Structure 1
Amino acid sequence: MTGHPLRRRLVWIVVALVFGVTAALAVVSAVALRSTLSDELDQQLELASERAATTPQGPPGSGGEHVPLGQAAGTVGVYYDDGEVVDAGYVDDAGKFQPLDAEQLAALEDLPQDGKIHTVELPGLGTFRAVTAHAPHGDAVITALSDDGITGTVGSYVTVEVALAGAGVVLAGVAATVLVRRALRPLDRVAVTARQVSELPLDSGAVGHIPRVPPALAAERGEVGAVGAAFNRMIAHVETALSARHESEQQVRRFVADASHELRTPLASIRGYAELVRRSPDEVPPAATHAIGRVESEARRMTGLVDDLLLLARLDAGRPLERAPVDLAGLAVDAIADAHAAGPDHVWRLDLGARPRPLLVDGDDARLRQVLANLLGNARVHTPAGTTVTVSGRRRGGDVVLSVADDGPGIAADQLPGLFQRFSRADTARNRTGGSTGLGLAIAEAIVHAHGGTIAAESWAPTWTFQAAASPTRERRNSREGTTFTVRLPALTAGAQVEHSPARAGSPTVAV
C-alpha cells in the first residue's frame, strides 16, 4: 500500500472499514437471529411435548397409525407402552401420521431421556430438536420439531445481508473516492505548484516571481492548508535567498568587470615601460635584462587573464555577440594550423568526412575561433608529447557537431562534473607542461551557450591492477584512454553566404 497514491490508500481504508463493520454486524445479527428462532422453536417443542404427554392419541389412521391430537405438521412423536414402542411417526403436511423407519427411530431412541432438549439428525428428514417427556401413566413420549425453518430463515437473512453489504461497500467506495478527491484537491494544487517551481531555472540568472499556493488553499485550518502555508513560507525564504545570492553574484561580476577593465591600462603601461627599457640604447646589466624579460612575460600572462575575466563578465551580463554566417570547417583548418605551430611535438589531425562541405552556423567568428583555440590549447598543454589530437566536423540533422579528441592520459571520472567550472583544473589527471588559469573551458562553455549550443566532455582514464607484493608488476585493465570534447551548434541552411572562408586542406582528413 505504501507505493500507491494517498487518495487510493484512503479509499481502500474506508472500503475496508465499511466491509469489516458490515461483515461483523451481519455475523452478529445472523447469530442473534438464529438464537432467537432456536429459543422460539424450543418453546414450541416444550408445548408440543406437553400436549403429546397429556393428550390421548386419536383413532388409528388408514395405515393403522395413531394421529397425535393438536400437533402441527412436521411434529415427530414416539410413544411407549410398558417400555415398548407402540407408535412412532411424524405428521405430514396433509395431517396424516407417517411412520418412521428403523434408522430414524434408532436415532431418537439414542437420545438421553433426561428431559432436556437435544439436537438430532434423522436420516431423510433433516435436523430436529427433540425432548423426552413422561405421560401421567409413566411411559415415555419423545417429541421432535424440525429446525429447517430456522435454517431457511437464517439463510435468506444472510443472503439479504450479503447483498446489502456488497451494495454498501460499492456505495462507500464511490462516496469515499469523491470525498477524498475533494478533500485532497488542495494538496494536488500544492503538488502542481511544487512541480512548477521545480521546472524554474533557479540555478542562475535573476529570480522572478516563484509560484505559490493560492491563499484560499493555504489557510491553516486543516492539515492540507497547513502544508500549503508551510510551502508558501518556504518559497518566500527561497526567493529571498536566491535574490540575495543573485545580487551578490551581480556585485562580484561588476567588480570583476570593473577591475579587469581598470587593470588593462596599468598592465599595458608595465609592458610598454618594460619594452622601453629593453630597447634602451644604454647598457643594461644582464640581470636587469633578465628581470625585464620576466616582467614582460608575466605582464602578458596577466593581460591574458584580465582579458579572459573581462570576456566572462561580458558574457555573464548577456551582452549580444556579433552574428554572421560562419563556416566552422574553415575555422577548424585555421585552428589546426595554429595548434601545429604552437605544439609541433603533437600529432594534429583534421577529419571533415569523405565529402567535406561547409559547416555553417550563425555566430561570432572571433569567439568561435577562441572556442577551438581553447580546446586545442587545452589538449596541447595537458597531454604529453606525441599525443594525437583529432578535430572532427559533421553536419548531423539540424546541428553542426565539432569534436576535439586526444589519446592522452585522460581525466579522472570524479573531476569531469566540475570540468567547465571557472578556475577548475584537471592537472592531477593529465600531464601539465604549461601554465593554466583554469578559465579556458569555462570561456568555451560560455561562448557556446551564448550561441545556443552545448558542449560536453568524455574521458577514459587508464585503470591499473597491481599484483601481489612479491610481484611488483602491474597490468592495465582497460586500454582505452583519452578525452573528447564535443561542441554542438545550430546549423544554418546551405544557402547562407560566408564573408570569409579560408582555404581548405586538399584532403578531408589531414595530419600535420
Structure 2
Amino acid sequence: MCSNPRSEMGSPGRSWLRRPWSLRARLLVGQVVLLAVVCAGIGVATELALQQFLTSRLDSQLIDVVQRTAHDVTWDPGPPPGDPPMGPVTGPGPEFLGRPGQPIGTIGAVVENGRVITGGELNSSSSREPLSDTASAAMAAVPVGANPTTRAIGGMGSYRMIAEYNQSGEIIVIGMPLADVQATLIRLALVLVAVTVVALVAAASVGMLIVHRALTPLNRVADTADRVADLRLDRGEVTLPVRVPAADATPRTEVGRLGSALNRMLDHITEALGARQASETRVRQFLADASHELRTPLTAIRGYAELAQRNRDEVPAVVAHALGRVESETGRMTHLLEDMLLLARLDSGRPLEQQPVDLSRLTVDAVSDAHAAGPDHRWNLDLPADPVVVAGDGARLHQVLSNLLANARTHTGPGTSVTTALTADASGGAVWRVIDDGPGIPAALQPEIFERFARGDSSRSRRTGSTGLGLAIVAAVVKAHGGTIEVDSVPGNTEFTVRLPGPLHTAAS
C-alpha cells in the first residue's frame, strides 16, 4: 500500500507556515493579532449592547401602541388640533392601523380561533395593504399576553410582535419591523470594521518601528556572535578581539544580560585558548628539544653497534644477534625522532623552501624507490605528457609521495596494484592520486587517519616499523604548501588525493 506523495510533502502553498519565524515577525504578528482580537471583542460587545438597546426601545414602543390600541375605545379618527385636515386611512385591515402615531410599516391583525379575521400593513403612503398568507400565519401563532417575540416573515423581514385582548374581547396582534434596527447594526458594524482596519494598519506600522528599535541591541549581540563564529580558533587564536558593546551589555535589561553573559563567555574562551596555546607550545618545544638532544646519543649507539658488527664472527651468535637488533631498533628510533622533529618544526610555523619543483621527475623517483622496497606489489605510473612544475620544498614533497606509497605498501598484501597519477589542474596547480585495490581503510578510522599515531592495526604497524606519523607528516607538509589532502576508501579501492597550488603560490607560514 503506497502513501500519497502530496500528503507526505504537504501543500507547497503552506510551506511558509512551517518555516521558523523570526522574533521580529512573531512579536509584530502577535501584537497585530492581539489588537485584532481586542477590537473584535469590543465590536461584538458594542453590537450586542446596541442591539439589545434598540430592540428594548422598539419593544417599549410596541407595548405602548398595543396598550393604547387595546384599551382606548374613544378614538376619533379626526386630525389633531392645529393639524391640517386629512382623509381617513383606507384599505384592508383593522381600523386601529389608521390611528395617529402608528409607525410606517406596522402590521396588525384581529385573530379569532387561531385564524386572522382581518389584517393589514401600514405602508409609506399611510394606507393599508393586505397581509400575505405567510404574515397572517406568523401573526396567528403569536401567544396572547406573552412578551414581544421576533418573527421572520418571508419576503417582509423580521418583526417584533405582541398579542393582547382589546376591550371587545378580540385578540389583536401588532408587529413592528426590525429593519431600522438591523440597518443601524449593519452601519455600526461597517464603521467598526473600518476603524479596526485603520487601527491594525497603524498598529502594524508603529509596531514595526517599536520592534525594530527594541531588537536593535539584540541584533548587535547576534552580529557579535556571528563574528566570533567566523573566527578560525583552530589556527591558534588566543585573543578574541570581538566583544559586545558596553551599551548592550548592561544587566538592567534582558538583552543586556545576554550581552554581558556573551562577553564573560568570550573572556573564558580567551583564557582557555591562551592556556591551551601555552600548553601546546611547551609540548612542541619539549618534542623539538627531546628529538634534537636524543639524536646525538642515538647516533653514538648506532655507531658503536655498527662497529661491533664488523667483528661479529669473533663474538657468540647470541651477542651478534643482540647487536643486530640494537642497530635495527636504533635506526627505527632515529627515524621516529626525525619525524617528530619535522612535525615540531612544521607546527612552529617555520617556512619551507620555495623553489620550482618538477613533480613529474619526483614522481618517477618515488615510484622507483617504492618498487625497490616492495617488489611483490604491482606499481603503475600515470604521468601527463608535459612536466608539472609547482613551487615548494622538493625534499618535503618527495617525502609526501614516499609516505603515501609506503602506506599503500605496508597496509596491503602482495600482488596489490598501486597506481600513482599526476595531473595539472586548470589553475596551474597539481593533483597527485595514489590508488590501490587493497582491503581499504575502516570507515571508523577515516576521519582520524591524518592524526598523529593513528593506526588501523597496531600489531602489524609495529611489526612493519610504522610509527603512525607518516600520514600526519603528509598532511602537515601539504598544509604548509597551501594544499589539501583527501581520502576516499572502500574495500577494493582506496584513493588519496593531494592538491597543490600553482607555481606562483607563497607557502603558508
Class of the TM-score when normalised by the shorter of the 2 chains: 0.7 to 0.9
2:450 is matched with which residue: 417, 420, 423?
A: 420
CA contact (8 A) 2:92 2:128 kept: no
Please give the secondary structure, in 2, of the residue aligned with 1:483: strand
Could you say which residue in structure 1 is the equivalent of 2:196? 165
CA distance in 1, matches of 2:454, 2:213: 53
Tell me whether 398-407 or 31-40 shows the greater mean CA deviation: 398-407
Offset at 1:323? 0.8
What whole-Å deviation, never above 9, does each CA across 1:396-441 have from its counterpart, x for those lacking one? 2113100111111111010011111111112269888611101111
**Aligned partner of residue 227 in structure 2, secondary structure:** helix
Match of 1:199 among 230, 246, 257: 230
Quick one: distance in 1 between partners of 2:405 and 2:198?
77
The answer as to 2:107 corresponding to 1:76 is: yes
Partners of 1:337 and 1:133 in 2: CA distance = 125
Does the alignment pair 1:361 with 2:390? yes
Q: Deviations over 1:350-382 (max 9, x none)?
A: 1014xx211111000111111111111111122
- Flag the structure with more relative contact order, 1 or 2, with Cα contacts below 8 A and sequence separation at least 6: 1
Alignment of 1:371-450 (within 5 A): 371-398=400-427, 399-427=429-457, 434-450=464-480
Deviation (angstroms), 1:133? 3.2
Candidates 282, 298, 307, aligned match of 1:251: 282
The answer as to whether partners of 2:115 and 2:140 remain within 8 angstroms in 1 is: no
* 8 Å contact from structure 2 (residues 51, 181) kept in 1: yes
Matched with 2:39 is 22
Aligned to 1:203, what secondary structure does the other structure show?
A: helix
For structure 2, the residue ranges without an aligned partner over 5 or more in a row are: 1-17, 79-87, 505-509
After TM superposition, the structure 1 stretch with the greater mean CA deviation from structure 2, 99-108 or 182-191, is 99-108
User: 3-state DSSP class of the match of 2:318?
Assistant: helix
Do 1:455 and 1:486's aligned partners in 2 also have CA atoms closer than 8 Å? yes
Task: Work out the percentage of aligned pairs sharing the same amino acid.
Answer: 46
**Is contact 1:77-1:142 (8 Å) kept?**
yes
The CA deviation at 1:68 is 1.7
Paired residue type of 2:490: W
Q: Would you say the 8 A contact 1:83–1:139 is kept in 2?
A: no
2:367, 2:303 → 1: CA distance? 32
- 2:54 maps to 37
**CA apart distance, 1:76:** 2.4
Please give the alpha-carbon distance, in whole angstroms, between the structure 1 residues aligned to 2:156 and 2:298.
121
Cα offset, 1:444, TM superposition: 0.9
Q: Pairwise mapping of residues 440-479 of structure 1 onto structure 2 (< 5 A)?
A: 440-461=470-491
Q: Please state whether the residue corresponding to 1:153 is helix, strand or coil.
A: helix
**Does 2:496 match 1:485?**
yes
How big is the alpha-carbon RMSD for the aligned residues of Structure 1 and Structure 2? 2.6
1:221 and 2:232 aligned: no
Structure 1 residue 281 displacement after superposition: 10
Structure 1 residue ranges without an equivalent (≥5): 462-480, 494-512
Query: Corresponding residue for 1:58?
Result: 77
Whole-angstrom distance in 1 between the partners of 2:410 and 2:104: 115
Indicate yes or no: 2:377 matched with 1:346: yes
In the TM superposition, 1:296-307 aligns within 5 A as 296-307=327-338
1:510 corresponds to which residue?
none
Query: What TM-score do you get using the length of structure 1 for normalisation?
Result: 0.86
Count residues in correspondence: 472
1:110, CA displacement in angstroms? 2.5
State which drifts further: 381-390 or 125-134. 125-134
Q: How far does residue 69 in structure 1 lie from its aligned partner after superposition?
A: 2.6
Within the candidate set 337, 344, 360, 1:313 is matched to 344
- Report the equivalent of 2:216: 185
Deviation at 1:182, TM superposition (A): 2.3
Secondary structure of residue in 2 paired with 1:389: strand
Alpha-carbon separation, structure 2, partners of 1:428 and 1:286:
31
